[in-house]
Amino acid sequence: MDSLPELVGTVHIILGPYRGNPIALYMRQDGSTCQISPRIYPWNRTVGVGDTPNRAAADFENKWKETDLAEDMYTGPHWEGGIKPEKPKPVPPPKPAVPPAKAEVKQEGKTSSSESATTPDSPQPIAKAEDPAS
């Protein structure tokens, strides 16, 4: 059974010097999907869809901004009932990958030079001092 539409907000469209009546925004839930849209033609083509009312509201706002109306021709949407549009979290940009061949060459160069050089803390070769033949 389909749920009844629930009033969740309004949008005011301004035509010239006149501010029109508010256009109601209704939400309908079908299982795990929420749909928010006005019921008046031609605005009913804009439908926000999401798995929660807040995500559907954010989707509606994004699609509403893509309509043929300029930003100074409308105010809103104004949400009621505690709906706060939930914007998706920004994805951090990927870190640049270091080529593995250059990284290995640098590491090999460091290990070979550190093995050949002796540090003051490392023990000196004792084999020559204890060799009775010399």
pTM over 0.85: no
pLDDT attached to residue 120: 58
Q: Per-domain residue ranges for the chain?
A: 6-79
- Yes or no: say if 16 and 26 are a contact pair by the CB < 8 Å rule: no
pLDDT attached to residue 16: 72
**Neighbour-count burial of 24, counting CB atoms closer than 10 A to its CB (0-12 exposed, 13-18 middle, 19+ buried):** middle
Question: What are the average pLDDT values for consecutive 10-residue runs of the chain, which has 134 residues?
Answer: 78 78 88 88 87 89 85 83 76 75 54 51 58 56
Question: Among 112, 114, 116, 62, which residue's Cα sits nearest to residue 85?
Answer: 62
